Amino acid sequence: MFNLEEIKQLISLIDESDIQEFEISKDGEKIHLRKPGKVETVVMQTETTIPSMPEIKNPIQVQPQLNTEQASVNIEGQAVQSQQQDANTHVITSPMVGTFYTAPSPNSPDYVSVGDKVSENTVVCIVEAMKLMNEIEAETKGEVLEILVENGQLVEYGQPLFSIKLS
């Protein structure tokens, strides 16, 4: 068993030496001593640039307040229109977080434009994630109605990229 005087001597010896860490066992007891490491503070100054906000394609519009009867008719009409639109359109979403590109390189033409016909395996864009260029396919047959993001824009998982009119 270590007594207090032995522990103090060990600490003093370790403190005066270049030893950073020390462990000793005696009669089934173990003492582990470690000098605190040298702490270095590194201050880095970085320049932060804030990207410009993309143009909002579908701004929220404030509707005048309707009475309950008008509101229910309006909501039902919107639901029917939305279901009809959904039945005739397919939205291609981003399968990952990354950067959206409309072409394979800056000097190449875009994969697709509004009005182009696409099939299930037509490449419509690239999403770059972790330095990998991932080709995104149309997944369906139809016509490109709308491109919902700008070239070079960051996209999130599940974010709509294209609207396709089914054929």
Q: Which domains does the chain have, with CATH numbers?
A: 4-34 (no CATH), 88-166 (2.40.50.100)
Sign of CA dihedral 61, 92, 150, 147: negative
> Do the bridges between strand 21-26 and strand 29-34 make them parallel or antiparallel, or are there none, so unpaired?
antiparallel
What is the distance of C-alpha 151 from the center of its chain? 17
pLDDT at residue 77, as a whole number? 47
CA distance 29 to 72: 79
**Nearest 5°: phi and psi at 12?**
-65, -45
What does the pLDDT look like over 13-63, one tens digit per residue? Answer: 777 877 777 777 777 778 777 776 654 445 555 555 566 666 666 555 555
pLDDT at residue 34, as a whole number? 75
pLDDT at residue 103, as a whole number? 94
Any residues with CB less than 8 A from the CB of 162 and at least 6 apart, and which?
91, 92, 112, 124, 125, 138, 144, 145, 146, 147, 148
23 vs 127 pLDDT, higher one: 127
**Would you tell me how many other CB atoms lie within 10 Å of the CB of residue 109?**
10
Q: What is the mean predicted confidence (pLDDT) over 94-121? A: 94
pTM of the model: 0.50
Q: What is the mean predicted confidence (pLDDT) over 106-133? A: 93
Q: In which band, very low, low, confident or very high, does the pLDDT at 117 lie, cut at 50, 70 and 90?
A: very high
Give yes or no for residue 120 having a pLDDT over 50.
yes
Is-contact 110 96, C-beta < 8 A? no
Task: State the SS3 of 8-30.
Answer: HHHHHHHHHCCCCEEEEEECCEE
